[in-house]
Structure formats: structure tokens, C-alpha cells
Structure 1
């Protein structure tokens, strides 16, 4: 899976390109006010074509300009995009840049030309483009979180993601529904290390992608919590097969409400971030009727690129869907290795609540690994977390008869290239054994 091109909206960091429609340039020119430091990511598609991905029409939303977002949210500091804009100061480079997404710009006029998606030709006028963008933003205000663009024709429910012949579907091997075959802990105890000054030079750390949290940010349904099922997975350059982050069956859904965080059962192994990350998702709300009558929460695929992302910082994007929205918070970590966390619970005295959270590499955002009831001796599903070498992974265990009256137990481990560390925690309810195993990702991809 090769790298895909970078977001067109990144060009807004400097003056708008000369080929943009004049009214679009006026709308999106960087304002004089200071940049909002909480917003770091820019849209990954030309703004005018976001309506292709969402299906929102201007007629669906009514209201005055007060409902529109502050367009400052769409700009990003120029220094973050210097590498993106370099060499793209003429029309030929821009056309080459857009060709990866099947988009063609009419170089003879300062207007948008025809845009082809998966064999379908769609013509957008200047005003239609703006109306659709304004309508989408009126329906989905930013609230400090930028939306994550959904690839056109990437829905699972209608099968369009399997029929689409766009380059990204081939690069990411979308039709292959198998789970990644690469396991975690592949280089925990290698036999071919080359040690220099106490450091293994043969199995080096790498750039890794870490999902910190997934939250049900919006739910269009009123009333009680809902039964949710489906999955969110990633595909990376190491192996484009599915690496599940969360996955629930229809006959065993999770009960959630707006604002709920999900336990992160995945990934199966560390996520490589030398190239772009494809996030694929199909999550539905189970109804009392047949499966065909279930409501769609989110459905599609999106891309996250590593350019412009500072290491060890948290970024949040929102995936908008038919019946709500999901927030994905993630980080890019340089010089990182896998930390495989294994927890074994024995000598259980009484049933108790256990919460297992994790902090990695100095980040303040907690990764929620487990939150549930323990009633017998058992092993928790192992968790894989990316950790910068030389920094720590901090595990937080809350144990108690109820979550509101729990006692916190902490333990930390310094990340290395190989080997493992272990600790035992004695509580009034059980003996908890924690083991963290270190391994770099396989190289040569």
C-alpha cells in the first residue's frame, strides 16, 4: 500500500491557489486572527466535494449564517504544511496532486471542472459546491473537532466499497476481508541482534500510530441507550489486511449512550505509521426488527496521513454518519515499539469491578483497555500499545465493589527494544499479575 496524496485543504495555510474559484478563495483565506491551537488537522479532500462523501444536500438544512462554523477552524499554521505546498505552485503539479483521487481541474478557467468518482461523472457548479459545504457544516458544527472525510463510494451496507475501482481500494486491498496475519511480540527475544553501546541496532523502533480513544460523540436518537455492533479497523503499510480496534457482533452488542467511551480490544499488533493509515468502519444500531432494519451509525473508510502531525501529541477527528458521529483520538509516535500488556487475575475472593487504563509516552490522554466485572480467575484479552523507547507506559488499575468506590493501583515500565517486565499487585479482591512485553515492528516493508 503506497502513500496517497496529501490534503488539498492544506494549501489554505498560505494564500489560496490562483486556480480556486474567487468566492472560495475569499471564504477560505487565512484570517488575521490568531490560529486556534487546539485545531491541528485540515480536511483531506477539496471542500467542495465533501458533499459527495456525505450525501448532504443544501435543501436539507435551513438557517441563517449564525449556524455556520468559524472558518478559522479550517486553517493550519503555514509551517506545518511547508513540505506539502513545496513544488505545487503551478497548475500541472496541482493536477498531478489531485489525480490520485480521480479529480480533474479545468486549467483553462478559474472554475472547477468535472470530477470523476468510481466511473461516475459529477459536475458541480461554484454555488452548488458552497451550498453543500454550508449545509453540511450547519448540520454538523465543529464543536472544536474537525470532521474526518469519508471516501466517496466507500459504504459497506450498499456494497459500493467492494465495487469501487478507485486506486485506494486496490492499494488497501479492500476486497480482502481477512484479519492481519502479523502477530504482536514477533521480536521480543530475537536471536540475531547486533548490539552497539547496549542498544540493538538490528531491530530498531519505528514510527507508530496509536488510537487513544474512540467515543460515541453524537447520537441522533432520543431516549435510552442503544445496542451497537460492528467494527472499526485500520489498514497500514506493514500489512493492509484488517487490524481491528473494536469489534462487536450483532448477537452480542455493546450498550452505549451519547458520550460513551469504548473499551479498545485492539489492535492485534502495532500499527505502522511510515505511510498513511486507512480507517475502515461499519457500525450499526440494532433494532427490535430484522437486521435489514437496523440503523446505520457510521459506514465507510477514511485516510489519516502522518505529514504535519507532531509526535506525542493527541489529535481528534470526528466521523459523521447517518445516525450520529464517532470521535477518534490518536497520536503519532516516533521511535516507538510495541508494548503488549497481559493481565492475569487469580485468587479471586469476591466479584469486583476492574478498570484498566493506560498512559503512554508522556501523553495525558488515557487509553481505556478494560472496564468490567471480574468474578473468577481469568486472563484479560491482551492489549497492544505503542510506546516511545526510553519513555514509560503507565498502567492504572481501579479495583472495588463498585466503580464509584474503587481503590487505584498504579505501575509503570520503561520501554525497551526487547524483553519483558512483570509486576504483581495484591488487592482485597484478588491477586493481579501484570506483564508488559516489548517488541519492535517487523522491518523491510
Structure 2
């Protein structure tokens, strides 16, 4: 596991204040307290409780300036506001009504303009197109620790500890392998584009790097040879992540997405480009929107930091196909109403759907919702498969009708403490 000793304290990067709507009507604002990542590292699986989440951003690293780290004075900063979701988690399940509107929270993030800080979510010297992300890899802590120069995909697979042999069981519960603090991605949306009312050809990637294995764990990965056609406000299909993402200290999200214009890449429009850090401080166990701004638009990622979570790997073999049908599969995790789209398309023959990894709060559950529409008769079949979270092992269910058999397998695992586990 990567060490955080050379990393500047997250508390020196920003201060944040948050106002739930009730408090905004007269109560004093709460000032979030931030801890040193070295303290969080001493309890790596469980960072402290629910506080305000904000993106760490720097326009100039202390490694470059040589200036000491210090807490930034609120009085010297400018503020931006971000809308958040329901404070209570908006609990929902297969048979529950998810139409109720979430109560908004307003988050004010105050940055100092001193020492090179700026109101911006993109790290300085993190651009791919001008090559700045590959320069100074030994002088900037985040380039060192997240091994930015290494373009290899993470070697750690999902289900790493689904069937361990070194468990110590007490009262029927494994006490050797426990839940971790993990990051869940719900959706990626094309929030802004430079084209009014039209579709664009989009390609590129969004990946996350964590401390267990800081190599690229792709959330979105689209080649230029096979771009997707999307409009502003459309969801971008997630290809990953390949495994659960660990976030006791911080994670780095790296991205390079472009709009294809012609035959030559040099004419393509840069949508988003760079890297951002999400730290451990914030409102845990509920979804929030993280916007990535870019020269040619913006991308919104809905995610959440889950305390005491396990990894669920969803595998769906489809067999006994009698006729073609459209299938949509969505997932609700940990009682939240934010849907994760796992599949949406046509099925004409027996196959296996792409394996999906979902993060689930310990002692909670996931609900897999299937909608099957036969093309021959337009008949609509809806099914829900709930699964209760476990530390190890797997669970299965089946969906069978007149024209298809859908098998559902969910394999449970915790994360290894390091690659040697």
C-alpha cells in the first residue's frame, strides 16, 4: 500500500462550511473540521464520521512553491455553492416509492487565493493534451503516490477475498476480513457541451486511482475508433470500475475526454482534461454530484463515499432465449434511491452480460431491477432480485418466463489490505 507520509495534509488545502436548509433559516453555520491523513491512515478502513465532502483542488502545489502547509483563512477566500442530495439518504428499495423529492443542501466551499490556490476542481499540471501531467512526477506528491507516469490498468481484480482460507470466525462472523471505506459511482452524465441542441461523438476515459493499487481503474473507457453519440444531459455508459475503490485517505480521479470532429485527432475538441482529488472528509453514506469542468463543457459524476462497505460483483448469464427482447437492468444499493444502470439493450441469443461491481454498505442490501420486453409481443415483464450484503461467498437467483432464463449471481468480497493479501 502506498504511504501517505509525503502527502500534504488535506486540511491545509481547503476549509468548508455547510448549511442544511433548516440551519440556513437562522441557526449558526457549522464549520467542518478536517483531520490529517496520517491520522486516518492509522485507522485505514474507517475514517471519521459524516462531515462535508468537497473536492480538493490546487492551482499550485506546495512542492513547487516550497511554502509550508497551513490551514487557509476563510476571510481570504471566495465561495462557490454546490447542490447536494437528501441528508437522510433517501432510503428506497424494490417495492418502495422513490418519487419523493430529495431535500437540497447547500455547500459553500471557501478557497484562499493566497499561495496559488484557486476556485477550481482541476489540479494544476494535470493536463494530458499539453503533457503537463507527465512532467515533474518526482516533485509533486500526487504524481508520485498515484504513479501518474504508469498508464497500466489496475492488476487487482474484483472478488479478491470472496473465498479466503485464513478466516477467523467468531459467533458465525469472520473477524479477519471486515468492511472498508469505499467509493461508489452511480452515473456519469454529459452535463455541458459546446454544441447547442445537437449530438456529439464522444470518446476518452475517466479512471480512479486509490492507495491499494494506484494504477488506472477505469470507470469510462471509450476509444476514438468507436466513439459514442450523446447529447447534452445524456448518461455516459460506465464500463467499470473493475473493482471496489478504497477511500480511507483520498483517491485521485483522472480524466481525458474529447469530442471527435474529423478524421484527424488534432482537430478534436477537448471536453475535460486533468485530475482531481476527493478526500476523506465529508458527508458519508449518501450520494452527491461531483462536477468536472472543462474547456469544452462539463461532466457530472454522481458518487458516494460509503463507510463500512463491501464489494458486490454482479454476473448475469442469459440462456434459453426463445425470441429477441429488450433488457434493462438497474441496481439500487444500500437503500439509496440513486439508480446505477448496469445494462440497457437488446438480447437476441444466449450470452453473459458485462460483469459489474457495486459497493454496498455492510448490513444493507442491493436490489437488482430487471425490465424484460419481448420484441415479438411487446409484453413487459418486471422483476426485482434483492440480495443482502455479506462479507464472503455468493448468492444466486433466477428469472424465468416463456422466452428466456436469466440467472443472477452476486459474489461478495472485502478489499485486500495490500496486493500480497
TM-score (norm 1): 0.72
Relative contact order, CA 8 A, sep 6+: which one is greater?
A: 2
Stretches of structure 2 lacking an aligned partner (at least 5 in a row): 37-59, 85-105, 108-118
Taking the TM superposition and a 5 Å limit, the aligned residue runs for 1:24-39 are 35-37=19-21
Taking the TM superposition and a 5 Å limit, the aligned residue runs for 1:111-190 are 149-165=121-137, 166-190=140-164
Given the superposition, is the C-alpha separation of residues 248 and 219 from structure 1 closer, same or farther in structure 2, using an over 3 Å criterion? Answer: same
- Name whichever structure is richer in helix by fraction: 1
Residues in 2 aligned to 1:433 and 1:409: alpha-carbon distance in whole angstroms: 12
Q: In the alignment, which of 226, 230, 245 is matched to residue 271 of structure 1?
A: 245
- Shift, 1:163, TM fit: 1.1
Given the superposition, is the C-alpha separation of residues 376 and 12 from structure 1 closer, same or farther in structure 2, using an over 3 Å criterion? Answer: closer
Q: In the alignment, which of 19, 33, 45 is matched to residue 81 of structure 1?
A: 33
- Shift, 1:358, TM fit: 0.8
Given the superposition, is the C-alpha separation of residues 340 and 105 from structure 1 closer, same or farther in structure 2, using an over 3 Å criterion? Answer: same
- Shift, 1:264, TM fit: 2.1
- Shift, 1:159, TM fit: 1.0
Residues in 1 aligned to 2:310 and 2:169: alpha-carbon distance in whole angstroms: 17
- The higher radius of gyration belongs to 1
Given the superposition, is the C-alpha separation of residues 174 and 410 from structure 1 closer, same or farther in structure 2, using an over 3 Å criterion? Answer: same
Corresponding position: 1:372 with 2:345: yes
Q: In the alignment, which of 248, 267, 274 is matched to residue 300 of structure 1?
A: 274
For residues 14-69 of structure 1, what are the alpha-carbon distances to aligned partners after superposition, in whole Å with 9 as ceiling and x for unaligned?
Answer: xxxxxxxxxxxxxxxxxxxx924599xxxxxxxxxxxxxxxxxxxxxxxxxxxxxx
For residues 360-385 of structure 1, what are the alpha-carbon distances to aligned partners after superposition, in whole Å with 9 as ceiling and x for unaligned?
Answer: 11111111111122121110110111
Preserved contact between residue 178 and residue 414 of structure 2 (Cα < 8 Å): yes
Given the superposition, is the C-alpha separation of residues 288 and 350 from structure 1 closer, same or farther in structure 2, using an over 3 Å criterion? Answer: farther
Stretches of structure 1 lacking an aligned partner (at least 5 in a row): 14-33, 40-71, 85-97, 112-125
Corresponding position: 1:381 with 2:329: no
Q: Name the SS for the 2:232 alignment partner.
A: coil
Q: Name the SS for the 2:10 alignment partner.
A: coil
- Shift, 1:214, TM fit: 1.0
Q: In the alignment, which of 315, 324, 327 is matched to residue 351 of structure 1?
A: 324
Residues in 2 aligned to 1:304 and 1:414: alpha-carbon distance in whole angstroms: 29
- Shift, 1:148, TM fit: 6.5
Q: Match for residue 69 of structure 1?
A: none
TM-score (norm 2): 0.75
Residues in 2 aligned to 1:292 and 1:405: alpha-carbon distance in whole angstroms: 48
For residues 94-135 of structure 1, what are the alpha-carbon distances to aligned partners after superposition, in whole Å with 9 as ceiling and x for unaligned?
Answer: xxxx9746456699xx99xxxxxxxxxxxxxx9xx99xx79x
Q: Name the SS for the 1:307 alignment partner.
A: coil
Q: In the alignment, which of 199, 204, 211 is matched to residue 237 of structure 1?
A: 211
Q: In the alignment, which of 10, 34, 42 is matched to residue 6 of structure 1?
A: 10
Q: Name the SS for the 1:220 alignment partner.
A: coil
Preserved contact between residue 81 and residue 308 of structure 1 (Cα < 8 Å): no
